[in-house]
């Protein structure tokens, strides 16, 4: 597929049927007596239109007859989705207006019934935990490889998945996150093969890997490795608007009718056409210029890596330094930098970079920062990134730096999954009580508690709250991070299942 994309562009891929139809509808004169209430921008607040102009609001239209219907497509949405399937290497593709979040939820709802097992790594995104709560599926957690030198959880090894399948051959799905937020790709092909030997479908959360199909120097896409369902945030690494995503399917292990019903449970009945049209545009862009755009992004990222490596205080996460079995490949456009040599936490470095230099990372952590280089970046952006780090390392470097290891005495070890007898769904729906955090230890969490980003929960509903988990969360807060998903984001209190 990747070679096809590079060498033989289907002329039809140059069109954008949904976008073109939306433009036609927006330009047509009409008396609108339908939603949205601003009526093609005529009633939009002037503080919005003075800023953004009228065109965007003229195009903010509902499901007019010409515009097809996301939940029963037989017109331009169907055509746009078929073009996307061909461009990304799927048999069938669905546009999502509610992010990969709803795609992951629908994939689990479509494969697992209440009480059925799903094998998944403990460091899944919170959308997968939401999927467990919604579906009632019972998680069989496998531990991802933990890289202590980076305080980062990578992917899952084939051995871990194989052992879980052998112990739980009745599992209805395997879900993996590949790539991780740090660009680390799991051995998806071998995982697919072992899952398929047991007739178990493989669902891949490829939220951060929508660009993979378009350049051979990027890791292979999960679809090309045999995954049955792949969910991609087209907005994260390609050019779609925030929240616009796709779900791709191939093969016959997935009940597509149930998938369609599942998607309609987790999406708005009023999907935003600007988001949907942006998916059509992003697909058209990648199908026609994807190779060149990815070549450019890779070159920028390689240059950034090379120049950042010259700064002795920094260390870069790269493929040579992390040979664990779950580290099958690395997306070079994802740059993770350990900043402890600067005597700063990732959060403090993030603040300095953002406030002083206008350089904004995707993801700060306790020890490191992760940057996404994409088709939208320029040489000037890389200049600014490198120069900001040079200045951080020289002019702004704090005096009397503490030893990095004294700053980070016990980094986050992926917590052994201390699940109680309650599934996430049972715990979520149990009677709960809010208690001071110190009293919560050894009780069962009624809520999900999750530093964001990366959105990987430290506590799940149904999990026993450990002192180690609380210590880590408090450290994130103290270092300037955000803890989300729970009722009290200051973490003075936690919700526990009533004993």
Nearest approach in angstroms of CB 401 to ligand PLP is 32
User: Nearest approach, Cβ of 104 to ligand PLP (angstroms)?
Assistant: 6
- Specify the residue, 407 or 484, whose C-beta has the smaller distance to ligand PLP: 484
268 phi-psi bin (left φ>0, alpha ψ -120 to 50, beta other) = beta
The yes or no reply on residue 125 touching ligand PLP (CB under 6 A) is yes
Q: 459 Cβ partners below 8 Å, 6+ apart?
A: 445, 447, 448, 449, 450, 465, 469, 473, 494
User: Is 461 an interacting residue with respect to ligand PLP (CB under 6 A)?
Assistant: no
Asked, as a colleague might, if the bond just before 454 is cis with ω within 30 of 0, I would say yes
Q: Residues 461, 431: contact at Cβ < 8 Å?
A: no
Using CA atoms, how far residue 492 sits from 44, 326, 438, in Å, is: 42, 36, 9
In whole angstroms, what separates CA 430 from the centre of its chain?
Answer: 29
Does the protein bind ligand PLP through residue 290 (CB under 6 A)?
no
Q: Is 481 in the site for ligand PLP (CB under 6 A)?
A: no
Taking CB under 6 A as the criterion, the residue among 226, 343, 455, 485 binding ligand PLP is 455
CB of 424 to ligand PLP, least distance (A): 17
Kindly indicate which of the ranges 17-25, 48-56, 94-102, 342-350 contains the residues binding ligand PLP, using the contact rule CB under 6 A.
Answer: 94-102
Per CB under 6 A, 336 contacts ligand PLP: no
Using the contact rule CB under 6 A, the part of the chain among 96-104, 157-165, 268-276, 383-391 near ligand PLP is 96-104
Q: How many residues bind ligand PLP (CB under 6 A)?
A: 13
Between CA 433 and CA 441 the distance in angstroms is: 14
CA distance 344 to 238: 31
Give the one residue of 88, 181, 371, 389 binding ligand PLP; rule: CB under 6 A: 181
Interacting residues with ligand PLP between 226 and 265 (CB under 6 A): 233, 245
Residue given tokens 């494969």 in the structure block: 111
Let me know: does 40 contact 57? Beta carbons within 8 Å.
Answer: yes
Query: Which lies closer to ligand PLP via its Cβ, residue 184 or residue 332?
Result: 184
Compute how many other C-beta atoms are within 10 angstroms of the C-beta atom of residue 235: 22
For residues 24 and 376, which CB has a smaller minimum distance to ligand PLP in the complex?
A: 376
3-state SS string over 4-39? HHHHCCCHHHHCCHHHHHHHHHHHCCCCCCCCCCCC
* Residue 105 binds ligand PLP, judged by CB under 6 A: no
Is 267 one of the binding residues for ligand PLP (CB under 6 A)?
no
Place of tokens 């002329």: 11
Grouping H, G, I as helix, E, B as strand and the rest as coil, residue 6 is helix
Should residue 101 be labelled a site residue for ligand PLP when binding is judged by CB under 6 A? Answer: yes
Residues in 127-156 that interact with ligand PLP by CB under 6 A: 127
Quick one: 17 or 457, whose CB is closer to ligand PLP? 457
Judge whether 185 and 328 are in contact, CB under 8 Å.
yes
Q: Which residue is nearest to ligand PLP (CB)?
A: 99
The C-alpha atoms of residue 178 and residue 451 are separated, in whole angstroms, by: 20
| Identified binder of ligand PLP from the candidate list 61, 83, 161, 207, rule CB under 6 A | 207
Which residues of this protein are in contact with ligand PLP, per CB under 6 A? 99-101, 104, 125, 127, 177, 181, 205, 207, 233, 245, 455
């Amino acid at each position: 597929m990747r070679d096809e994309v590079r060498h033989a562009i289907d002329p039809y891929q140059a069109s954008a049927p949904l976008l073109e139809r939306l433009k036609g509808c927006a330009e047509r004169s009409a008396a609108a007596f339908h939603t949205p209430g601003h009526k093609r921008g005529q009633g939009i607040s002037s503080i919005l239109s003075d800023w953004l102009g009228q065109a965007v609001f003229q195009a903010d239209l509902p499901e007019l007859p010409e515009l097809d219907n996301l939940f029963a497509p037989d017109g331009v949405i169907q055509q746009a989705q078929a073009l996307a399937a061909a461009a990304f290497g799927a048999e069938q593709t669905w546009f999502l207006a509610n992010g990969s979040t709803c795609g992951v939820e629908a994939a689990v709802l479509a494969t697992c019934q209440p009480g059925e097992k799903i094998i998944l790594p403990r460091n899944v995104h919170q959308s997968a935990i939401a999927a467990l709560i919604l579906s009632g599926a019972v998680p069989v957690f496998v531990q991802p490889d933990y890289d202590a030198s980076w305080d980062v959880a990578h992917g899952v090894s084939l051995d871990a998945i194989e052992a879980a399948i052998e112990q739980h051959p009745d599992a209805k799905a395997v879900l993996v996150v590949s790539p991780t937020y740090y660009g680390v790709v799991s051995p998806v092909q071998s995982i697919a093969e072992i899952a398929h030997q047991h007739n178990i479908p493989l669902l891949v959360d490829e939220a951060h890997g929508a660009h993979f199909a378009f350049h051979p120097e990027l890791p292979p896409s999960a679809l090309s490795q045999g995954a049955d369902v792949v969910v991609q945030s087209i907005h994260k690494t390609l050019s779609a608007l925030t929240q616009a995503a796709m779900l791709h399917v191939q093969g016959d292990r997935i009940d597509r009718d149930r998938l369609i019903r599942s998607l309609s449970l987790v999406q708005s009945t009023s999907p935003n056409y600007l988001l949907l049209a942006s998916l059509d545009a992003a697909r058209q862009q990648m199908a026609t210029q994807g190779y060149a755009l990815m070549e450019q992004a890779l070159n920028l990222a390689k240059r950034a890596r090379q120049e950042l490596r010259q700064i002795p205080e920094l260390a870069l996460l790269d493929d040579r330094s992390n040979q664990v079995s779950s580290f099958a490949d690395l997306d070079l456009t994802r740059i993770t930098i350990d900043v402890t040599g600067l005597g700063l936490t990732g959060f403090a470095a993030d603040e300095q970079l953002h406030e002083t230099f206008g350089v904004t990372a995707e993801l700060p952590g306790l020890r490191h920062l992760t940057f996404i280089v994409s088709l939208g970046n320029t040489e000037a952006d890389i200049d600014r990134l490198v120069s900001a780090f040079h200045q951080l390392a020289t002019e702004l470097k704090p005096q009397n730096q503490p030893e990095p290891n004294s700053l980070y005495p016990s980094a986050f070890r992926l917590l052994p999954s201390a699940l109680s007898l309650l599934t996430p769904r049972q715990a979520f729906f149990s009677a709960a009580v809010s208690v001071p955090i110190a009293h919560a230890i050894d009780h069962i969490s009624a809520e999900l508690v999750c530093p964001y980003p990366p959105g990987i929960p430290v506590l799940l509903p149904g999990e026993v709250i450990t002192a180690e988990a609380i210590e880590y969360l408090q450290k994130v807060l103290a270092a300037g991070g955000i803890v989300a998903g729970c009722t009290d984001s200051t973490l003075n209190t936690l919700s526990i299942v009533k004993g």
